[in-house]
Amino acid sequence: MIELIKNEKGIFKNLINGKWKDSTTESTITILSPLDNSELGKINAMTREEVDEAIETAKIAQVVWRSTPLNERTDILYKAADLLESNLDELVQLLIMEIGKDKNSAISEVNRTADFIRFTADIAKNMGGESISGDNFPGYKRNKVSIVTREPLGVILAISPFNYPVNLAASKIAPAIVTGNSVVFKPATQGALSGLYLAKIFEMAGVPAGILNTVTGRGSEIGDYIVTHKGINFVNFTGSTEVGHRISNITSMVPLLMELGGKDAAIVLKDADLDLTAKNIVAGAYSYSGQRCTAVKRVLVVNEVADQLVEKVKILVEQLKVGNPLTSKDNVDIVPLINSKAADFVMELIQDAIEKGAKVLSGGTRKENLIQPTLMDNVTVDMRLAWEEPFGPVLPIIRVKDADEAIIIANQSEYGLQSSVFTQNINDAFYVADKLEVGTVQVNNKTERGPDHFPFLGVKSSGVGTQGIRYSIEAMTRPKATVINITQ
């Protein structure tokens, strides 16, 4: 199917108004694989005029789409989910090559996305509006009734990051279109081929012309133009806090739904089940080399059990499989990072911590962009690793005297995505959970986004608004009240 979306020069086309179009510009971006530097294809660096066309076409098409029966819109989503599954092998291969995901994680991303799309259709079909009688409020009678329906917002701008190019695109596109919105989708540049593939799936499933349009090009070049475009009615962005802040600063009167960076803490109390804790911490911190916003990014463990926990974590870290998914026989947990800039940054954080007295218990070395899973003990709050998000396979252990000190350090972060607390005492779990300034607290589990119908949100610099299937649907619609006044 890849062949259907690229031209004879290997340039991937964009879906605009139901047609896969070549750009009018000669300006292209070459997508190389982080695994072997091979060229996977080229994408167009679209011009402003082409962006205008994508947004204008979305605006016009939405007018008809919002009146299309919901059951027809949901049928398209069910078809898209089936098509994703029937094209799993090719898409998995593309994900592995384009973003260096290990095979198991790539398969899981595609299957989870199909489930997400189906569940979105199910929820949309089962969501109703409400009717409110006037007499609930003093001075009014039952002859006044408000019928509250949910209306689409118009044109949704969906911007996705590199690490889940299919799932974090579909989790914006599916709730948007099922509710009668149209979409302009700007994938991450590294991840754009997978994103365009997803768009092809939606098109094949029957999404009408103009309802899903794609825009490719570097965010640094066209990002400001798209997010501030007057044709956009809602921005759903997942990516770094830096870009999120920028979008928030330059937009005006447009609702934002943003999931940004994190520094999720795993807080370990003295009565925690340490085997379960260590297992969760290692799975949470290192899968896909830590390139997940919800990765466990620091451990705050009380002194009484710190030595025991560290020993258990170290044993598991040393069992992680490290390698290049292209050349490794088995599935690997630790893969090369997305690019050398990302790997340089992780090494910089490790070096800073070493210079300030942290101890490397495992890893700490790099071969090209493959960084060994790194475990660092005795990390203290004067080190950058205590606060900055590495988006790589390095985990700092910060020792604390008690739960209260852990809470203070956890909350001092600029981020507030998730936290875990490990304890066998339900009262302590609630005590800690109640005080943490995050969107979600996981009790005795690693930090993670799923299941996808749960609310997913970050506070402080980790985001604005709430995702999760029903929550995204609500965010992308607004109530509309039609008031019936019955003459009596």
Ligand X SMILES: O=C(O)[C@H](O)COP(=O)(O)O
Ligand Y SMILES: NC(=O)C1=CN([C@@H]2O[C@H](COP(=O)(O)OP(=O)(O)OC[C@H]3O[C@@H](n4cnc5c(N)ncnc54)[C@H](OP(=O)(O)O)[C@@H]3O)[C@@H](O)[C@H]2O)C=CC1
Residue located via tokens 């962005």: 237
Q: Does 403 bind ligand Y (CB under 6 A)?
A: no
Q: How far is the CB of 218 from ligand Y (least distance, A)?
A: 4
DSSP state, residue 13: P
211-224 burial, b if ≥16 CB within 10 A, otherwise e?
bbbbbbbebeebbe
Q: Which of 15, 94, 293, 383 binds ligand Y (CB under 6 A)?
A: 293
Q: Does 224 bind ligand Y (CB under 6 A)?
A: yes
Q: From the list ligand X, ligand Y, none, pick the one residue 450 interacts with, judged by a Cβ distance below 5 to 8 Å according to partner type.
A: ligand X
Residue located via tokens 């088995």: 330
Q: Does 259 bind ligand Y (CB under 6 A)?
A: yes
Amino acid in the structure at residue 410 = A
Q: From the list ligand Y, ligand X, none, pick the one residue 270 interacts with, judged by a Cβ distance below 5 to 8 Å according to partner type.
A: none
Q: Does 31 bind ligand Y (CB under 6 A)?
A: no
Q: From the list ligand X, ligand Y, none, pick the one residue 246 interacts with, judged by a Cβ distance below 5 to 8 Å according to partner type.
A: ligand Y
Nearer to ligand X, 290 or 364 (CB): 290
Q: Does 220 bind ligand Y (CB under 6 A)?
A: yes
Q: Which of 262, 364, 373, 468 binds ligand Y (CB under 6 A)?
A: 262
Q: How far is CA 185 from CA 22, 162, 208, 227, 403, in A?
A: 16, 14, 15, 11, 43
Nearer to ligand X, 74 or 291 (CB): 291
Nearer to ligand X, 11 or 421 (CB): 421
Catalytic site residue from 53, 109, 259, 389:
259
Q: Does 243 bind ligand Y (CB under 6 A)?
A: yes
Longest dimension (CA), the chain: 82
Taking CB under 6 A as the binding criterion, the range among 214-222, 273-281, 310-318, 468-476 that sits at the site for ligand Y is: 214-222
Q: Which of 100, 152, 161, 364 binds ligand Y (CB under 6 A)?
A: 161
CA nearest to 75, candidates 122, 109, 116, 115: 122
Q: How far is the CB of 436 from ligand Y (least distance, A)?
A: 16
Q: Does 14 bind ligand Y (CB under 6 A)?
A: no
Q: Which of 219, 325, 364, 392 binds ligand Y (CB under 6 A)?
A: 219
**311 in catalytic set:** no
CA–CA gap between residue 414 and residue 302 (Å, rounded): 22
Q: Which of 23, 105, 236, 238 binds ligand Y (CB under 6 A)?
A: 238
Nearer to ligand Y, 180 or 191 (CB): 191
Q: How far is the CB of 126 from ligand X (least distance, A)?
A: 24
Q: From the list ligand Y, ligand X, none, pick the one residue 34 interacts with, judged by a Cβ distance below 5 to 8 Å according to partner type.
A: none
CA–CA gap between residue 123 and residue 368 (Å, rounded): 45
Interaction with ligand Y in 57-116: which residues (CB under 6 A)?
A: none
CA–CA gap between residue 179 and residue 259 (Å, rounded): 21
Dihedral sign, CA of 112, 118, 122, 127?
A: positive
Q: How far is CA 213 from CA 21, 38, 183, in A?
A: 11, 28, 6
Two tokens, residue 276: 């379960």
**Cis bond before residue 451 (omega within 30° of 0):** yes
Q: How far is CA 230 from CA 34, 52, 59, in A?
A: 36, 10, 11
Nearer to ligand Y, 112 or 186 (CB): 186
Q: Which of 19, 48, 141, 218 binds ligand Y (CB under 6 A)?
A: 218
Q: Does 245 bind ligand Y (CB under 6 A)?
A: no
CA–CA gap between residue 264 and residue 483 (Å, rounded): 46
Nearer to ligand Y, 413 or 423 (CB): 413
Q: Which of 261, 325, 336, 392 binds ligand Y (CB under 6 A)?
A: 261
Neighbours of 82 (CB within 10 A): 15
Binding site for ligand X (CB under 6 A): 163-164, 168, 292-294, 448-450
CA–CA gap between residue 185 and residue 15 (Å, rounded): 10
Q: From the list ligand X, ligand Y, none, pick the one residue 41 interacts with, judged by a Cβ distance below 5 to 8 Å according to partner type.
A: none
Q: From the list ligand Y, ligand X, none, pick the one residue 448 interacts with, judged by a Cβ distance below 5 to 8 Å according to partner type.
A: ligand X
Taking CB under 6 A as the binding criterion, the range among 51-59, 123-131, 145-153, 237-245 that sits at the site for ligand Y is: 237-245
Q: Does 163 bind ligand Y (CB under 6 A)?
A: yes
Taking CB under 6 A as the binding criterion, the range among 114-122, 235-243, 273-281, 307-315 that sits at the site for ligand Y is: 235-243
Taking CB under 6 A as the binding criterion, the range among 60-68, 234-242, 360-368, 396-404 that sits at the site for ligand Y is: 234-242
Q: Does 180 bind ligand Y (CB under 6 A)?
A: no
As annotated, the active-site residues are 259
Chain residues that interact with ligand Y, rule: CB under 6 A? 159-163, 186, 188-189, 218-220, 223-224, 227, 238-240, 243, 246-247, 259-262, 293, 389, 391, 417, 458, 463
